[in-house]
Amino acid sequence: MDLSKFNFHLPDELIARYPAEKRDESRLMVLDRKSKSIGFEAVFKNIENYLLPSDILVYNQTRVSKRRVYLKNKSGREFECIFLEKHLQSQKEKWKCLVKNVRKLKIGEMLFSNDEQVCFTLDRNEVGDIFLFPSIPVSEDVFEKIGTIPIPPYLKRKAEEFDVMRYQTIFATKPGSVAAPTAGLHFTDELKSRLQTKGILFAEVELCIGYGTFSPLTEEQIQSKKLHEEGFFIPEKTLKLLNAAKGKQRIIAIGTTTLRTLESSYDRNTQQYTKSSGITNIFIQPGDPVESIDGLITNFHLPESSLLLLVSAFAGKDIVIEAYRKAIESKMRFYSYGDAMLIL
């Protein structure tokens, strides 16, 4: 895999550091895999013009937790911490974390939340992973009090008040992710209702998004064809709906996380969705078959990222690279708060 073929220069001004004024009024690119045509819509809500009454839109219902926490040491120095996973050690709770400037901290050093209601003790394992041991159990309610929404690092700003709402999709119900399934950010309740009136069905899955989604690809990941692990769940009613529809109705994934979930469940031999839950580290690259869906709604992704490779596997590398070239030429907005692409 030559990652340089998936590189491109993105002018800094095309990085969407703030969302569109209204969710469904970002721009939309429409890519047809068969005709290789690339078109544009002024607003995302015009997507209904390309959807059929029999279509099924599948969304990721995960909710972003306030897992970015700013902690202070005894001298008052602030450290940014991303809480990734909870573990138990001798029945004691600990959290695997990313901590900025962790080299300035010592094992056993204590960090405090701004309200000083929670104290964390720092530890490090033999491979360098950082863990924080809390003085009290840390629940979602605790994160709500001491944390902030972990907006993507490439936005290069701290989360603001509006991010609490805008960096969540209207589908968000199950907390635990440290990043949003951003293709879903374009939907409003009104648009969803209008599509349902047209006859389009919505179905939910859940994939708990880890911070590895922002990490650069490594040579080891490329060679092993495995990414970071993420847990997924598909309700029984969704499995029944998709299995009954497969081959008869178009199944369209809202976002790459939904696509990863469906591909992790899909059995090509039976052409059915068989796994309802599990841990996935699936890494889909150009040349790999993508048979679980018939369409994809997605944003514009980072150069040389696993998400760009996944989209290229589904639509074809050449047409995707051309689409990105035209998106830049047309000054479309990129990344989490940016514009959208519909691939059919």
Quickly count: other Cβ atoms within 10 Å of residue 334's Cβ. Answer: 21
Whether residues 30 and 140 share a domain: the answer is no
Query: Residues 6 or more apart from 212 whose CB is under 8 A from it?
Result: 227, 228, 230
| Structure tokens that stand for 128 in this block | 């360098």
The radius of gyration computed from the CA coordinates of the chain, to the nearest angstrom, equals 21
Per-residue confidence (pLDDT) for residue 212, from 0 to 100: 82
Residue 155 forms part of a structural domain: no
Q: Which amino acid is at 153?
A: P
Please write the tens of the pLDDT for every residue from 46-84. 999 999 999 999 999 999 999 999 999 999 999 999 999
CA neighbours closer than 13 Å in the CB half-sphere of residue 21? 1
Per-residue confidence (pLDDT) for residue 234, from 0 to 100: 98
Tell me the torsion sign for CA atoms 312, 318, 321, 323.
Answer: negative
Q: Report the Cα 329 to chain-centroid distance in Å.
A: 25
Provide the number of structural domains found in the chain: 2
Whether residues 124 and 242 share a domain: the answer is no
Residue 339 forms part of a structural domain: yes
Residue 156 forms part of a structural domain: no
Helix or strand run (H / E) with residue 320 = helix 317-329
Whether residues 230 and 121 share a domain: the answer is no
Whether residues 73 and 119 share a domain: the answer is yes
Whether residues 315 and 292 share a domain: the answer is yes
Whole-angstrom distance, CA of residue 47 vs CA of residue 254: 12
Note down the domain range covering 142: 68-148
Whether residues 133 and 198 share a domain: the answer is no
Whether residues 174 and 93 share a domain: the answer is no
Q: What are the angstrom distances between the C-alpha of 280 and each of 101, 206, 261?
A: 30, 12, 8
For the chain, list residues with pLDDT below 70: none
Closest CA to 256 of 283, 235, 226, 218: 283
Where residue 144 sits, what CATH number does that domain have? 2.40.10.240
Whether residues 90 and 32 share a domain: the answer is no
**What's the predicted TM-score (pTM) here?**
0.95
Whole-angstrom distance, CA of residue 81 vs CA of residue 67: 8
DSSP letters of 206-271?
EE---GGGGSPP-HHHHHHTEEEEEEEE--HHHHHHHHHHTTTS-EEEESHHHHHHHHHHEETTTT
Whole-angstrom distance, CA of residue 275 vs CA of residue 339: 32
Whether residues 51 and 190 share a domain: the answer is yes
Residue 154 forms part of a structural domain: no
Whether residues 96 and 127 share a domain: the answer is yes
Whether residues 191 and 337 share a domain: the answer is yes
Closest CA to 245 of 292, 278, 311: 292
Calculate the CA dihedral of residues 137, 140, 143, 144 and round it to 10 degrees: -140
Whether residues 35 and 97 share a domain: the answer is no
Per-residue confidence (pLDDT) for residue 216, from 0 to 100: 87
Per-residue confidence (pLDDT) for residue 169, from 0 to 100: 98
